[in-house]
Chain A
């Protein structure tokens, strides 16, 4: 099978869906003439023209709201945030408008749109460009939140997200756009809300999603050399969460570590831990552990980046702790 970059997988999804449905358009900062800040939309202006690939001024609140209004009136907007850090100035339109419209109108105005862009840290970018808001958006009913971890999932999930009749938050990473992975030529879709077992194992379950799946998988590989068999589950979607896949795995391994690039308080890891202790308490042979980012803003220096993020060493320690090794 051919191998393509994460950004190319996203572009293929966008191109295919735009060819399929004339109501789909892409709007955001630098998406058209600049070919996208991270080159996801490279060449799209040439194919679809300025009517459908639309550069905006730097006005996230305004163009997010224009997207929601266009969705109310029957279009299927894809709104790109250059990073989800910037989505905070638009969050009123995401939470108060997009997520509420269908319900407030008694089921008259659904919002078939996608807000997409990179999330999380990406090296030494300082505190304002190094935040992960997956759990913030996942907290809000009315939204769906997708966080793919490889090119194959990214393409199949973005195509589904664009066809979805509800607002979908689709979160990528600057540190994944260059990743290569196998993506078939033929069309496929991946359903929202279904986790994927990325590595089967028997001793412990590791649950993660998005870019930090790299750490989860690297840890499983490293621990295999020590005779520890990790089952690694990629949630892929954090609203809704596929609890069943997690719980079935825990019933098999009896041990759980959750790895997440996000501040610990009220995070996806807290939610997973709650649900597993509620449903599978008798199956647990050790307290659930999580490895999150540190409970601080991320400072600029390289030492801070190293200290802040989940890494193989921290996740290995957590796995060994739940195995009492």
Chain B
């Protein structure tokens, strides 16, 4: 890995972003245990380099859309930890006003087109977002994330076909963490090299090491360049790993402790930290200060969420139709 390609600022930014994602998710897990957070909750721990490496390769006006494992994507797009945490709490100050919860973070302001709960449903949506930019002659690129499980949905094939036919400026990302909930990739397919799915549509398709932001950044930058040059979509199979279960209710008994430990040796956060220290881009003290800053951000987010109100029950009838005064049927 040619670490000299990236500046000290980039490494520090990656580290800060990934540390925020990691500590945020650890806190979310803790709060879930305390039943402060309810419903389904899917953590991103282990996969941080995928989002960090994406963001450093994109422009601010580019768009992101993903599935239900969306806290880190929301944070990386620039939604504050306060608003993401408040959404987990179901509070009215959350980024979706307490209407979305863990799986449905959104921010129009930050070009985050959401977390989506139907596996693979966001794949055509991502192409549609890119379609609109192409229609208006815009320069934006859409990054559309989905998991290795979603790659088995028919929506993917219909979308890949049209995205290539129309050369849409979209980057499809399989975040391949090895498991569709509890079912490993090898139990769902004959084609283990998932990036090859794109090849049947002659889509430029690549396998990428997702445990380092460097490799993700490089692949993403190339793909974005192609999209902006009207050369159409790219498929990146980014190979990563989640340390926790599929959701908070999943003890992940379908994989061995050894497997998890093996991946933790390649922990993306630890690897960036090691680079920062070995390249003398930061001292232990610097990173300690950063850690304190992140913890303060998280604690502030929790306090903000605790002190925020739940939405008024009357808000149940709001934001369903853009039309004001829609006549809902009342008993």
Contact = CB atoms under 8 A, between A and B. Distances in A.
Contacts of B129: 69-70, 72-73
B237 to A, nearest CB: 20
A92 interface: yes
B162 interface: yes
Interface residues of B, number: 48
B179 interface: no
B124 A57 contact: no
B323 A164 contact: yes
Given A59-B158, A108-B108, A193-B327, A51 B135 contact: yes
Nearest to B87: A106
A103 B320 contact: yes
Contacts of A92: 118, 121, 155
Interface residues of A, number: 43
A274 B165 CA distance: 50
Interface of B: 63, 65, 94-100, 104, 106-108, 113-114, 116-118, 121, 123-133, 135-136, 154-155, 158-159, 161-162, 165, 318-323, 326-328
Contacts of A74: 132, 136
A73 B169 CA distance: 14
A227 interface: no
16 contacts: A57-B165, A59-B162, A61-B124, A65-B123, A65-B124, A66-B127, A73-B132, A75-B131, A75-B136, A93-B124, A96-B118, A102-B319, A104-B99, A142-B321, A240-B326, A240-B327
A235 to B, nearest CB: 14
Contact of B158 (A61, A105, A141, A165): A61
Nearest to A141: B320
B162 A69 contact: no
A29 to B, nearest CB: 12
Given A57-B161, A102-B321, A68 B124 contact: yes
B99 A106 contact: yes
A6 interface: no
Contacts of A25: 135
Contacts of A59: 158, 161-162
Contacts, number: 150
A64 interface: yes
A62 B126 CA distance: 11
Contacts of B121: 65, 92-93, 96-97
Interface of A: 25, 51, 56-57, 59, 61-75, 92-93, 96-97, 101-110, 112, 141-142, 144, 164-166, 193, 240
A240 B326 CA distance: 8
Nearest to A57: B161
Contact of B328 (A63, A68, A141, A166): A141
A69 B132 contact: yes
A68 B125 contact: yes
Contacts of A240: 326-327
A106 B97 contact: yes
Contacts of A104: 96, 99-100, 104, 106, 114
Nearest first, the 10 A-B pairs at minimum CB distance are A69-B128, A65-B124, A62-B158, A106-B97, A73-B132, A107-B319, A165-B322, A105-B106, A59-B158, A106-B96
Given A56-B162, A106-B95, A107-B319, A70 B132 contact: yes
A284 to B, nearest CB: 20
Nearest to A274: B329
Nearest to B63: A73
